[in-house]
Structure 1
Amino acid sequence: MNREMRLELISQMISEQEIKTQEELQQLLLAQGLHVTQATISRDIHTLQLIKVPGKDGSLKYCFQMDRNHLISEKLRHKLRDALVSMEVIQLFVVVKTLPGHAHAFGVLLDSLDLEGKAGTLCGNDTCLIICRSMAQAENIKKQLDYYSK
């Protein structure tokens, strides 16, 4: 089996089941008749840009970067619905007011997303300040967050 076919098989396995370790992946490939080394599996994981995220039982499992972004987006959507008080753009900043104690969680989620124009975040107890690279990008980030909150 060539490299592309092996990568396709690994992608299918990751999509269909929770795989937590390289050894587990190696055993699954062996069951398919593929003898691969740990080094090959490590390179394949890097090539596929697999990351580890919490699984259903709380332990870490492999998934695709795209799945992680979707997971973070969904968490942000729920957080915005549950704890957002207000949001406004002030020049290069988006000021996100939250219920007390929720701003830091917003900052963590926002820092995990690749929002174009975001330079960083500063968060206190009930306020998260998104620092933007331009006023237009600040408006765009607010529009994106407005979309998530609906």
Structure 2
Amino acid sequence: MNKEMRLQTITKLISEHEIKTQEELGLWLHNSGLQVTQATISRDIRELKLIKVPSKEGSLKYSFKVNQDHFISEKLRHKLKDALINMEVINYFVIIKTLPGHAHSFGALLDSMELDGKAGTICGNDTCLIICRSPEESERIKQQIEGLQE
């Protein structure tokens, strides 16, 4: 079985089951007819960007990074409450003014979020610049961020 099929199998297994360890994932793959080494499983986990999140029972299980968007939004919500001075749109840009020393953490949170229309961020000490793909998308991104403040 080629790598892409193996990654698809892992994606399906992680989506359908609460897999907590690499050894458990190896057993599921073995039961699916795949013989893989621990090193291969480890590389596949990195490539799929799997992370550990709390399971229903409270232990940790593998999940996909996209499931962290809620946690990132919560962190950004708190950061907006604690350190935002103001935010404005100028053409293709959203300019976020923060308390001194907070712009980089805004940038890191924004970079880890999937915001349609965002090309990237540039941050200084107290200013975070979001570069957008169109003026309309910059206004929409600003509204999306403001929506987190409510």
TM-score (normalizing by structure 2): 0.69
Asked if the contact 2:50–2:64 (Cα under 8 Å) also holds between the matched residues in 1, the reply is yes
Map of 1:88 onto structure 2: 88
Map of 1:11 onto structure 2: 16
Q: Deviations over 1:32-85 (max 9, x none)?
A: x94864359839x66xx5612577xxxx96322331222222221221122111
- Where 2:17 maps in the other structure, the secondary structure is helix
Map of 1:135 onto structure 2: 135
Instruction: List gaps (5 residues or longer) in structure 2.
Output: 1-7, 55-59
- Where 2:100 maps in the other structure, the secondary structure is coil
Map of 1:109 onto structure 2: 109
1:8 Cα deviation from its structure 2 partner: 4.9
Counterparts in 2 of 1:9 and 1:86: CA distance versus 1, 3 Å: closer
- Where 2:138 maps in the other structure, the secondary structure is helix
Map of 1:144 onto structure 2: 144
Map of 2:50 onto structure 1: 51
Deviates more, 1:75-84 or 1:131-140: 75-84
Percent identity among equivalent residues?
Answer: 50
Map of 1:38 onto structure 2: 36
Matched letter for residue 84 of structure 1: L
Map of 1:76 onto structure 2: 76
Q: Deviations over 1:123-147 (max 9, x none)?
A: 0111100011111000000000000
Q: Deviations over 1:19-41 (max 9, x none)?
A: 2x4125446x59xx948643598
Map of 1:125 onto structure 2: 125
Asked if the contact 1:22–1:38 (Cα under 8 Å) also holds between the matched residues in 2, the reply is no
Q: What is the CA–CA distance in structure 2 between the aligned matches of 1:92 and 1:9, rounded to whole Å?
A: 39
- Where 1:70 maps in the other structure, the secondary structure is helix
Q: What is the CA–CA distance in structure 2 between the aligned matches of 1:136 and 1:9, rounded to whole Å?
A: 37
Q: What is the CA–CA distance in structure 2 between the aligned matches of 1:39 and 1:148, rounded to whole Å?
A: 43
Instruction: List gaps (5 residues or longer) in structure 1.
Output: none
Instruction: Give the root-mean-square deviation of aligned CA atoms.
Output: 3.4
Q: Deviations over 1:62-114 (max 9, x none)?
A: 32233122222222122112211110101111000111111000101111111
TM-score (normalizing by structure 1): 0.69
